Amino acid sequence: MARCPMTARLLVLLSLGLVLPGATPALAQAPRVLPGSPGEVRLSFAPIVKRTAPAVVSIQAAKMVENRNPLMEDPFFRRFFGPNFGGGGGGREQVARSLGSGAIVDPSGLVVTNNHVIEGASEVRVALPDKREFEAEIVLKDPRTDLAVLRLKDGRERFPFLDFADSDELQVGDLVLAIGNPFGVGQTVTHGIVSAVARTQVGISDYQFFVQTDAAINPGNSGGPLVDMAGRIVGVNTAIFSRSGGSQGVGFAIPANMVKLVVASAKGGGSAVKRPWLGAKLQAVTPDIAEKFDLTRPAGAVVTNVTTASPAARAGLKTGDVIVAVEGNAVDDPNAFDYRFTTRALGGKTELAIMRGGKESKVTVALETAPESPRDEITIGARSPFRGLKVANLSPALAEELRLEVTDGVVVLDVADGTSAQMVGFQRGDILLTVNNDKLAKTADLEKAAKAGASRGWRVTIMRGGQQISAVFGE
């Protein structure tokens, strides 16, 4: 499935499955050495595969989908011909199945895979290499990283599992293996090297920081681990660049340090991943900005706005500061900063290196989650342009979840099909600011405005994608 078209190439999410050999404590850290003779070149990866392959699984997800008349996707036809035009409201349902891979990362049967492999699934089954199959429950889904954690429904045994490596130690040129189920042909092993680290302009998920490899990865490999020569997981394979849809030697994996954060949240019983919150808006450093701030090269993340009372504000960050490192790790752009910052452990502090006034200095930022407040979610039912909107009170936590810059007000969570709200064009993530010049501070304000505006229409101001939009709606 293509996520974003490139120049004559596609970024393909591997919704069939990829598995990679994993690690055992006995393998420890292997030294990096070049082959010393032709005989050493012929050495085999078989011992690593033999130890790690038992913990690599195939995942089959099933969900019900409805065959719809394509004309019913057009609001015009739904409005004027009704929801049952052309059978649009009563299409026949059928089962759609996706195939992916995963790795067992805990002896209790905890499995990590890609979120897009199991998204929307009503049933998930996991097949082990020994032909046994288990039903699995979804423990945690994290669309922002495209990761999900499953648990095998069997508490009677200890399963083989893989350990994680420190992906920050990975170097370009390191050998890696991928084991998975490409195209559903069965468990397959490929090898290659780390082609690049810290790829941040890929466009797969919210957190853009990927390990690139030339190990052959194909549809069906999604969610499988990329492993090092010590048999440890260094990443979870998630996508490829391809002109044909098959492997062309450019694959991407989510770094193990990000995966560990999601798995730890699942082990802790959380239904969502908790991450540190900076409370500042960042922008990439362009050549013009680098010249303006007297930087040696266009790298770093410029602070363009600081939220009041946030960790960034308490640390003394100011608009115009350029963040160049997190705990000594260089930051090339905001995506790299997000990875370095959000993979820090909550509860402590972290040191940021910043450029201010042409001089480098250090600030210490508290690692804490964004504050939450009662969301008071409601669905508007009154006859109005808002009928069908599911809305909530916006907070820093919800703004972080939805990747919004504004941290208060009323935000759209969902728009019901065939409702007035959908007809007039409301979208998820819209922030409703005012109705008839009255500011909306909470969801109850919108509910009241929806009921009161019928006699004079509704003058609405919303924020969408950082732009303020005004509109007038009648009955």
Q: Mind telling me the catalytic residues?
A: 116, 146, 222
With a CB cutoff of 8 Å and minimum separation 6, the contacts of 458 are 384, 385, 386, 435, 436, 449, 450, 472, 473
Task: Give CA–CA dist 439/398, Å, rounded.
Answer: 20
Distance CA 377, CA 287 (A): 44
Instruction: Quickly tell me which residue has 């996706």 as its tokens.
Output: 98
What is the rounded distance in angstroms from the CA atom of residue 215 to the CA atom of residue 202?
Answer: 18
Nearest to 197 by CA among 383, 330, 327, 297: 330
CA–CA distance, 277 with 369 (Å, rounded to integer)? 5
With beta carbons less than 8 A apart as the criterion, state whether 431 and 463 touch.
yes
Q: How far apart are CA 432 and CA 49, in angstroms?
A: 55
Q: How far apart are CA 229 and CA 317, in angstroms?
A: 42
Closest CA to 275 of 286, 287, 264, 291: 264
Instruction: Say how many C-beta atoms besides its own lie within 10 A of residue 429's C-beta.
Output: 14
